[in-house]
Amino acid sequence: MKRFATGLALLLATALATTPALARGVFDGTWKGDVRAGKPAEKPSIVLVQAGIFSCTTCKPALKFPADGAFHPIAGNPYYDAASVAVVDATTIKRAFRKGGKTVAEATVTLAADGQSSSSAFVDRTAPSGVEVTGTTVNARVAPAPAGAHALSGAWRETTDTQVSDTGLVFTFAQEGKTMTFSTPTGISYVATIDGPAAAVTGDPGWTKVALKQTGPTTLVETDYEGDVPIGTYTMSLSLDGTTMTSAVNDLKFGKTSTMVAHRQ
């Protein structure tokens, strides 16, 4: 839940040094993600609510616990340590997540009348700063619900109809020589050396280190880590007029690829 492409949060960070003569980096400034201009991952998420049990086989870690509205302990996720699912009615469920006894994320998921899409209105406070990211993700059905399961069960793919608040879309960076500084409204930041060793990321429990490698005059590859494990690579390129940044995303943790777009503000 850290960047605007997934589920709850931001995923564009970069800059680069082109030549020593540049007074500022070509990516310097404030940028805002454009969800509609991107290309969501094709690989779907799979959830099931049946016989009073919620399960998500594509979650990391995989989840399975009673859908009774109570919080159940979850191990292995840096953003939360307990989760709950409550069935509201035949077309609506509520999900919530806690960490250290504090609710850090909530979502109300509603099935469309035709059963082929769903919307999830969410509030995400997983950043240690407590700054909220809000919005509504819209998913298209890929596979039907099994017989006897809740109608929101099945396989779902995110669409570009998703909306996210500016707190989850805006980011800034500034470059001095080969040193890149990155920050977001939610308090995520890093100071890293391009073509240097991995540097610490602060403000995100699941994204702890970053490495930057310049591969062209207006292209940078970012590798994100959780501990020492790489969880994603982002190949970021600037448009000819310098107003648009496009990022080819390889989500190593979830096995998904997507494209993200941001515009200079």
User: Has residue 205 been placed in a domain?
Assistant: yes
pLDDT digits (tens, 9 = 90+) for 62-91: 999 999 999 999 999 999 999 999 999 999
In CATH, what number is assigned to the domain containing residue 206? 2.40.128.20
Query: By residue range, what is the domain housing residue 105?
Result: 45-159
Q: From 159, 179, 204, give the residue that closes a domain.
A: 159
CB atoms within 10 A of CB 205: 18
pLDDT at 25: 86
Say how far apart CA 25 and CA 31 lie, in whole Å.
14
Assess whether 136 and 242 both reside in one domain.
Answer: no
Task: Please state the domain count of the chain.
Answer: 2
User: Has residue 226 been placed in a domain?
Assistant: yes
pLDDT digits (tens, 9 = 90+) for 199-252: 999 999 999 999 999 999 999 999 999 999 999 999 999 999 999 999 999 999
Assess whether 136 and 178 both reside in one domain.
Answer: no
Assess whether 80 and 115 both reside in one domain.
Answer: yes
Q: Name the pTM for this structure.
A: 0.88
User: Has residue 14 been placed in a domain?
Assistant: no
pLDDT at 173: 84
Assess whether 33 and 62 both reside in one domain.
Answer: no
Q: From 159, 180, 212, give the residue that closes a domain.
A: 159
Assess whether 150 and 178 both reside in one domain.
Answer: no
pLDDT over 70 (residue 14): no
User: Has residue 12 been placed in a domain?
Assistant: no
Assess whether 59 and 148 both reside in one domain.
Answer: yes
User: Has residue 170 been placed in a domain?
Assistant: yes
Say how far apart CA 30 and CA 26 lie, in whole Å.
12
Dmax of the chain from CA atoms? 66
Evaluate whether 180 touches 188 at the Cβ level (below 8 Å): no
Q: From 159, 178, 211, give the residue that closes a domain.
A: 159
Assess whether 137 and 206 both reside in one domain.
Answer: no
